[in-house]
Amino acid sequence: MTTSKTTTKTHTDNFRLEKRHLDDALFYFQKLIDKQTNNQSLDDIYTILGNICLEKRDFNQALSFFQTLLDKQHQRKNFGDASVANTCLIIGNIYAQISDFNQALQYYRQGLFICQRIPTVDQSIVHDIKSKIRHLLAPQI
């Protein structure tokens, strides 16, 4: 086997190993959801599951987890919470990644609206969201 074939095989093996670990982690955290009653723990688990799916580039499943997280945050009436704005930003980023720019814009605007109602919000989040909105609204050349 030549060096390039060995290197390619090693990368392929590493990817399979990494993907298997992501699948194992996904399974573990999905099972953990059923055992949790603490809202913060559930939020953390949905965030982890969504991030695992993003690593796997499974954007639809990631959207599902982050949308569930956002729904749970809304059920708790966390409208003035920066974590809700951050969840909107993440969902907007996913929609932008899959080229659904109208949905991305909707979630960016929702996140910005929430941020503007929080006097102590980190202004870097506001700047990031505004930048993403400007980028989506700019004429594409």
pLDDT of residue 13: 44
Other beta carbons within 10 angstroms of residue 78's beta carbon come to 18
* Per-residue pLDDT band at 11 (split at 50, 70, 90): very low
| Distance, CA of 97 to CA of 104 (rounded, Å) | 9
37 φψ region: left (φ > 0), alpha (ψ -120 to 50), beta (else): alpha
pLDDT of residue 27: 73
| Distance, CA of 130 to CA of 141 (rounded, Å) | 20
Residue scoring higher pLDDT (26 or 72): 72
pLDDT of residue 10: 43
pLDDT of residue 7: 40
Domains of the chain by residue range: 1-57, 78-141
pLDDT of residue 42: 83
Q: Residues 54-84: pLDDT tens digits? A: 999 999 999 999 999 999 998 887 666 888 9
Task: Identify which of 53, 94, 87 has the alpha carbon closest to the alpha carbon of residue 68.
Answer: 87
* Per-residue pLDDT band at 132 (split at 50, 70, 90): very high
For residue 93, is pLDDT > 50? yes
For residue 2, is pLDDT > 50? no
